[in-house]
A and B are shown apart, each in its own frame.
Chain A
Amino acid sequence: MSSATNAHDDAHGQAHHKFHQHHFLTMAQQASSAKFGMWLFLGQEVLFFSGLFMAYFVFRALYPETWLHSAEYLSKTMGGINTVVLLYSSLTMALAVRSAQLSDKKGLIINLIQTIVCAFIFMVVKYFEYSAKFDHGFLPGALYHGHEFIPGRPELFFTVYFTMTGLHGIHVVAGIGVLFWILKRAIRGDFDSTYYIPVENVGLYWHLVDLVWIFLFPLLYLVR
């Protein structure tokens, strides 16, 4: 968000950091601004998801028996695997930030690659899950054509399921994008103990993506 290079600060005589942006007085001010901005962005993200969580609770209150029965058609195994995968990726992400802080370039790259691999595993598992739902006609709203008997409004359960996990999935894909960007910069050697705020910010974002899933998994899969 705030970490592109800037070529303004060459001729000042003082030892300016390569990534010091002209309009900040110090690197410390730049870093704390970037971090605060990221937290605000995460707050915005929480409210972005909040509408869907609200819809979940409203319709669960309206059709409790639907929720009870529909959740049985979600794969607890696949959901569980994905939970473990994401938790592990949060660990590697945290280790990546620590590696950057310690100027450990090799550790940073290895941990970022592990995080990216986890993200891909998550999406592959998601693909198989979604395919199974498509095959059984467990689709949102008007598209629903499941044959198993589920009382109430199963089409609404699957609306909530697909919108929540779909929006989360979009965030995972976006996360893969920014992780690759950070990996590229890490390989170029941009990060060390004096400058690692982009790694930290991407880490914060990745933890939020993980956290949202930590709520989605029990709410959707573990109803009964």
Chain B
Amino acid sequence: MSATTIDHSPSHAAGEHGHHDNYLVAKKGISSWIWTVDHKRLGIMYLAAVILFFIVGGLAAIAVRTELMNPTKDIMDADAYNRMFTLHGAVMVFLVIIPSIPASLGNFVLPLMLGAKDVAFPKLNLASFWVYVLGAAFFIATLVTGGVDTGWTFYTPYSIKTSSSATIALLGAFILGFSSIFTGINFLVTIHKMRAPGLTWDRLPLFVWALYATALMQVLATPVLAITLGLLVLERTIHIGIFDPVYGGDPVLFQHFFWFYSHPAVYIMIVPGFGMISELITVHSRKGIFGYKPIAISSVAIAFIGFLVWGHHLFVSSQSALAGSIFSFLTFAVAVPTAIKVFSWIATLYKGSIQYTTPMVYALSFLFLFSIGGLTGLFLGSLSVDVHLTDTYFVIAHFHYVMMGGTIIAFIGGVHHWWHKFTGKNYNEKIGVIAAIIIFVGFNVTFFTQFIFGSQGMPRRYWSYLEQYHTGHMISTYGSYLLAVGLFLALFNLLASLRNKGVAPERWRGVSLEWETATPPIEHNFESIPVVTAGPYDFPEVRAARTGNGH
């Protein structure tokens, strides 16, 4: 039936009473949540926090889009608009997308997938969550102290001069970086040291490989952001001059430092989404993954190349033409491992028993949206084309197709995929699929329009615009409303399922280890240590077909 057999480990004879309750009820009271070191509870707490901040960032986005409905003032003046889009960007990047898949889904599922009782450092995991909350508190504090108007990139020299509460936001991002580093260290050690017997590297689920590549980047890139933001805080408070030309400093150096982190951060955001899609496509088409090793290695390859392409954010920032050409070439190189993944997923679907479940609809949306996002990245990676497209809505549309159409869609798909494992409840499939389709349509109406008027020259971050872009902005704004309706419908559908009594029957299952434990899992994950004897996608159907019974 399954790819694993259960073996009783000698150190766990009978007699561990009270250890068999599921993790949600095993300990009671609010402080059992606040101080929990259980990776599953921390995953759920991260999930709740990420969804909360997704709503905050999403409402800011709706406010921005509403203001852009007409070229004149609709609901806020230009200063408020600047603060609003900064809030949207900073919250979405630092509080939502970066922790979304690794810290919430990954925290919950990773030790289960490895057959471990917990992550390697449970207390560090707890610290990581509360450091995240502290960083988030700094971000929220900027709302009360007047907001930040620099954009989420904090470019110098404006970010040195602006009188708004940028220092608080910088400290917030600095603190959040450490939360991310802690998670990264924890995951790397867990994957190296905590695998169950028989779980070799080539039997790891691809989600684990993706988390591995992500954690590597989190550990190696985030400290550079931390020191950069730290220097900017000193620049703003005591004017150390490092980014300030008045004292001989170099504002472009900030861009180099910032993107040395923030470009790998783009892959910190998208690579977990890749891992998620590998799980969704296989489980919901009942087919072994096509090209396991290329997909696994390409995650690590993306992580590696991702460190070498930061200069493509500086094509028009006084970078030399030679450097620009090299960065352009390296940027194109990223397309290779990425394309390997996309083609492998499509090949996996070929002749699979595709089931149009809610997670699968999200996975198919991902394939469509991410492909557009990835291909338009090549336009921006081309030097000459980029000169025209820099700082237009084309860029906005491009990274929303990757970040939202890629990561967020994969994240929502993953939440639906494992919802039953997390909670033991089943949401309404019909409403789930309808919400996914509304999100898909709303997303494309919002952002595909932006490709069009962006390529016509509409600059990003402008409060007002020429009349020729009016229709496009109106369509985009209506699309964002539709997108919001779809997202709320999906959320209400999930939350509504929590009112059901008891544990609902399972609607799908894979053969990786997270499906082997109880639903919801018991506090210590497994009754006894599992022993792995087969790969993560050896579904019964696959094995039947392999032995000839399937024909």
Q: Please give the residue numbers on chain A whose beta carbons come within 8 Å of chain B beta carbons, in ascending order.
A: 1-2, 4, 11-14, 22-23, 25, 29, 32-33, 36-37, 40-41, 43-45, 47-52, 54-55, 58-59, 62-63, 140-144, 152-153, 155-156, 159-160, 162-163, 167
Contact = CB atoms under 8 A, between A and B. Distances in A.
B117 to A, nearest CB: 4
B185 to A, nearest CB: 5
B124 A1 contact: yes
Interface string B207-234: 0000000000001111110111001001
Nearest to A41: B185
A142 B268 CA distance: 37
B29 interface: no
Given A51-B224, A142-B247, A156 B241 contact: yes
Contacts of A4: 123
Interface of B: 9-13, 15, 116-118, 120-124, 181, 184-186, 188-189, 192-194, 219-224, 226-228, 231, 234-235, 238-242, 244, 247-250, 253, 257, 524, 529
A123 B247 CA distance: 29
Nearest to A50: B224
A141 to B, nearest CB: 3
**Highest count of chain A CB atoms <10 Å: which of B121, B240, B257, B529:** B240
7 contacts: A12-B13, A25-B11, A36-B193, A40-B219, A44-B223, A59-B242, A142-B238
Contacts of A33: 120-121, 189, 192-194
A58 to B, nearest CB: 6
A12 B11 contact: yes
Given A33-B193, A58-B253, A140 B238 contact: yes
Nearest to B239: A142
Contact of B244 (A12, A141, A162): A141
A153 B248 contact: yes
Given A23-B116, A36-B189, A51-B228, A156 B242 contact: yes
Given A23-B116, A63-B248, A142-B238, A47 B224 contact: yes
A48 B226 CA distance: 7
B193 A156 contact: no
Contacts of B193: 29, 32-33, 36
Contacts of A40: 184-185, 188-189, 219
B241 A25 contact: no
A152 B249 CA distance: 12
Given A37-B120, A163-B234, A48 B223 contact: yes
A141 B247 contact: yes
Pairs of residues from A and B, 5 with the lowest C-beta to C-beta distance, nearest first: A141-B241, A153-B248, A142-B239, A51-B227, A48-B223
A152 to B, nearest CB: 7
A25 B257 CA distance: 42
Contacts of A62: 248, 250
**Highest count of chain A CB atoms <10 Å: which of B228, B239, B529:** B239
B220 A43 contact: yes
Given A25-B11, A48-B226, A52-B227, A159 B219 contact: no
A142 B234 CA distance: 11
A57 B121 CA distance: 37
Given A2-B121, A58-B250, A47 B194 contact: no
Contact of A44 (B219, B240, B257): B219
Contacts of A59: 242, 248, 250
Nearest to B124: A1
A41 to B, nearest CB: 6
A55 B257 CA distance: 9
A55 B241 CA distance: 12
A159 B223 contact: no
A144 B247 CA distance: 10
B240 A163 contact: yes
Contacts of A1: 121, 124
B160 to A, nearest CB: 11
Contacts of B524: 22-23
A137 to B, nearest CB: 14
Contact of A23 (B117, B221, B228, B241): B117
Given A40-B189, A47-B220, A163-B231, A2 B248 contact: no
A59 B241 CA distance: 11
A167 B233 CA distance: 14
A37 B220 contact: no
Contacts of B226: 48
A5 B506 CA distance: 39
B417 to A, nearest CB: 25
B122 A23 contact: yes
B228 A44 contact: no
A142 B193 CA distance: 50
B458 to A, nearest CB: 35
Contacts of B529: 25
Given A14-B10, A54-B257, A141-B239, 12 more contacts: A12-B12, A33-B120, A33-B121, A36-B193, A44-B220, A47-B223, A49-B227, A50-B223, A58-B250, A140-B234, A141-B244, A156-B242
Given A37-B189, A51-B227, A141-B239, A2 B120 contact: yes
B241 A155 contact: yes
Nearest to B244: A141
Nearest to B118: A23
Contacts of B224: 47-48, 50-51
B248 A156 contact: yes
Contacts of A143: 238-239
Nearest to B246: A142
A7 B219 CA distance: 31
A63 B124 CA distance: 43
**Highest count of chain B CB atoms <10 Å: which of A25, A48, A51, A167:** A51
A84 B117 CA distance: 46
Contacts of A144: 247
Contacts of A54: 257
